[in-house]
Structure 1
Amino acid sequence: MNKDQNTGALDLKSLFWAERISMKMLRYFYVASHCQSFTQAAEQLHISKSPLSAQMRELESVLGVKLFNREQRSIQLTAAGFLLREQCQSIFNVMESSINQVTQYARQSQGLLRLGIVSSVFWAGFGYACQQLKFEFPKIQFEFIEQSPQQQKVALFNNEIDIGFVRYADTLDISPLESCNLYCEPMCVALSDKHSLSKHKQLCLTDLANEKFVMMSQKNSASAQLVVNHCIKAGFIPTLVQEVVEPMTLMNVIESREGISIVPQSFSRQSWQHIRFVDLKQQINAHICAVYNPQKMTPEKQSLIQSIHLFMNSDASKVALS
C-alpha cells in the first residue's frame, strides 16, 4: 500500500472514531469515573441513570475494552478505565487551550481588550486615562466590565478579561496572578460633617476605637479586611454595623450619620454635601493596581498598563480632577 493509501486509511479510521465517540460521551465517562457511582454521576450531570449507563456501554463497545467493574452499588475502574481517565484529562486540557487560543486570536485581530474594573477607580483619574487611551490606541476597542475584585481574579483565570483594575489590598497573595501599582494614594477617615471628630485635621486609628464602622463587603474585596487588620494592630477590633457593595452606597450611609468609614483619599474629590474627610496618621494603602495573568501578557497589554500609569499620574489628570 502506498503512502497516499495509508493516509486515506488513517483518515477513515479517525472519521470512524469521531462519529462513534463524542466529547459528551467522554465527559460522562470522566464524571462517572470520579463518582464511582452511575447514580451520583447522573445527578451531577443532571441526567437520568439509564442514558448514562447506556452511553458507557456504547463507549466500551466502540473501544472494545471493559472500562468499569460493575458492582451492586458502585463501579470501579479497570486498568483500561484508569488509562482512559488520564487521557480524557489531556483531551479536555488540549480542547480548552485550543479554544482559548482561537478566541484570543479573534479578539486581537478585532483589536478588543476587556478590562475589569471597580467603579471607585474613576474617582482617582481612571476616567481621564480612558479618554486618552482612545487617542493612544486608536485601533483598539476597549470593553469595560464592572466586577468586584474577587470576580476579576476568577475572570482572569477563565480568560474572560485581559486586565483587571483593583485596590492594593486585592493584590496581596494572588499568585500565580501578578500586579503593578498604577496610582498611589492613602486611606482617610470619612464621616458626617456633624460628627464630633469632623473638625480634626488628622486622626489616629485609636481615636476611632469607639466608633461604628461601615465597610465595603469583605466577600467582594480585601480592602475591608486590610482596615480591620490595621485597627487590630492599633489595639482594637472595629465595631462593624453595616457592609455594602457599592462605594456610592457607602458614602450615602455615612452621610446619613449611621457610621464612619476608612476610604481611599480620592473619594474626597467627589461632591459630598455633608461628609468630611480627615487625614489618617497611620498609612493604609489604597493604591490602584493592574492585575493580570503573566502567562497571557502581551506587549500590547504591557504598553496599555504603562500608558494608564502615565495618564493617571499626569498633571493634566490632576487638573481634570480638580
Structure 2
Amino acid sequence: METRQLRYFVAVAEELHFGNAAKRLNLSQPPLSQQIMKFEDELGVKLFERNKRSVKLTAAGKSLLQDAYAILKSIAKAKHNLQEVAQGRKGQLRLGYIGPAMDGTLADIIREYKAKYPDVTFILEEMPTNLQIKEVALGRIDIGVVRLFRHDLGELEGKVFHKERYAVAVPSAHKFSGKSEINVAELAGEPLIFPPRESQPRLYDEWFRVFAEAGFSPKIVQESVTKSASLALAAAGIGLAIVPESLAKRRLDGVQFKTLIGDIPSLEMHILYNPKQVFPALNNFLKVVSGISECNF
C-alpha cells in the first residue's frame, strides 16, 4: 500500500465519479481506473461498486476511507514535523550552564530564543565548567555556557559572548562599606572566601600571581565552590568574596558590592559547542546569542 494509491482512492471515494476524481488529480480517467483496479487486486477486496450510472463505496471501501484519512493526516504531520526540525523550529536543545551566567545575559538569551522557537524543548542543567567541557565532547549536552581560562578544548569551540568586571562582596559592617572601588592590593590581610584550586586550576594560579604582584599572599579563611555560597558566607561575616559584578543584581541583605580594580584576570563567559555537531536548533541558538551579545560573537 502506497501513499499515492491512498490519495487516488480518497479522491474517487469523495467524488464517487472517476472522471471528476481524475480531473482533481490531474490525471486522465483510464490510468486512474487501472490504478484503482490494481489497488483492489493487491488488497484482495472490492472497494467500489461500479456500473454505467454510478460509483458507490463497498463496506470495505467505507472502512478503508476512514483509515486512509488517518494515514494521510499522519504522513502530512510527519512531513511537517520533519520540516520544522530541519529548520530548527522543533526539536530538543540540551544546555549546560554555570550558575553565575543566569545573572548576566544568559537569561535574556533563553527568553528571546523561547519566544522565537516555542516548540523547541529546552533541557537545562547547571554544572561546572570542567564537567560541561566533558559533556559537550561526549555529546551528552549540545551547548555549554562556561567560564574558560586557558582550558584545553580539543575539537570544541568556545566563543566569548559576555564580559563584565569583578566585584568584591563585602559584609555590610566592613571597613570597606563606604568605598565604591577596591584595589586588589587592598585585599592584603583581609579574610577571603575563595574557590578551591581544583575547580579552575589555571584561573586559581592566575589570581595567586595577581596577589603576589600586588605584594601579598591571600588570607583564605573559607573555600567555596559556588558563587551563591560565597555570597552567603560574606553576608555571614566570614570574609570577602571576589565575584562577578552581575551578582549585585541579587541584592542580598548584609552584603555590599564594590568594583575590584587593578591588574586582574578578565571575566568572560563563553558559549561552548562542537562545531562538527551543529544542528538547526543549535544554529538558531547561536544566532540569538550573536544578536544579543555585546561582544563580537
Where on the TM-score scale, by shorter chain, does this alignment land: which range? 0.5 to 0.7
Cα displacement (A) at 1:255: 0.6
Superposition misfits of 4+ residues, deviation over 6 angstroms: none
Whether the 8 Å contact between 2:91 and 2:281 is mirrored in structure 1 is no
Mapped to 2, the partners of 1:237 and 1:198 lie a distance apart of: 23
Whether the 8 Å contact between 2:120 and 2:281 is mirrored in structure 1 is no
How is 1:39-188 mapped onto 2 (pairs within 5 angstroms)? Answer: 111-169=91-149, 172-188=151-167
The unaligned stretches of length 5 or more in structure 1 are 1-104, 315-322
TM, length-normalised to structure 2? 0.63
Cα displacement (A) at 1:307: 0.8
Residue identity matched to 2:100: S
The unaligned stretches of length 5 or more in structure 2 are 1-84
Q: Does 1:290 align with 2:258?
A: no
* Counterpart in the other structure of 1:201: 180
Q: In structure 2, do the counterparts of structure 1 residues 112 and 256 end up closer, same or farther at CA, with 3 Å as the change threshold?
A: same
Mapped to 2, the partners of 1:313 and 1:229 lie a distance apart of: 29
SS at match of 1:138: coil
Mapped to 2, the partners of 1:176 and 1:255 lie a distance apart of: 41
Mapped to 2, the partners of 1:226 and 1:174 lie a distance apart of: 19
Aligned partner (choices 192, 207, 210) of residue 227 of structure 1:
207
Q: In structure 2, do the counterparts of structure 1 residues 217 and 144 end up closer, same or farther at CA, with 3 Å as the change threshold?
A: farther
Aligned partner (choices 281, 285, 296) of residue 261 of structure 2:
281
SS at match of 2:108: helix
Q: Does 1:213 align with 2:192?
A: yes
Larger radius of gyration: 2
After superposition, the C-alpha distances for 1:158-210 in whole angstroms (9 at most, x for unaligned) are 111111001243x6443332211111111111111111122122221111011
Mapped to 1, the partners of 2:125 and 2:111 lie a distance apart of: 16
TM, length-normalised to structure 1? 0.58
SS at match of 1:273: coil
Residue identity matched to 2:282: K
Aligned partner (choices 280, 284, 288) of residue 303 of structure 1:
284
SS at match of 2:178: coil
Aligned partner (choices 228, 244, 254) of residue 234 of structure 2:
254
Mapped to 2, the partners of 1:166 and 1:208 lie a distance apart of: 27
Whether the 8 Å contact between 2:93 and 2:281 is mirrored in structure 1 is no
Mapped to 2, the partners of 1:225 and 1:304 lie a distance apart of: 33
Cα displacement (A) at 1:219: 2.4
Whether the 8 Å contact between 2:92 and 2:281 is mirrored in structure 1 is no
Q: In structure 2, do the counterparts of structure 1 residues 235 and 172 end up closer, same or farther at CA, with 3 Å as the change threshold?
A: farther
Cα displacement (A) at 1:124: 1.0
After superposition, the C-alpha distances for 1:213-241 in whole angstroms (9 at most, x for unaligned) are 11234323455444333223323231222
Mapped to 2, the partners of 1:259 and 1:296 lie a distance apart of: 44
Q: Does 1:241 align with 2:226?
A: no
After superposition, the C-alpha distances for 1:53-79 in whole angstroms (9 at most, x for unaligned) are xxxxxxxxxxxxxxxxxxxxxxxxxxx
Mapped to 1, the partners of 2:205 and 2:95 lie a distance apart of: 25
Query: How big is the alpha-carbon RMSD for the aligned residues of Structure 1 and Structure 2?
Result: 2.6
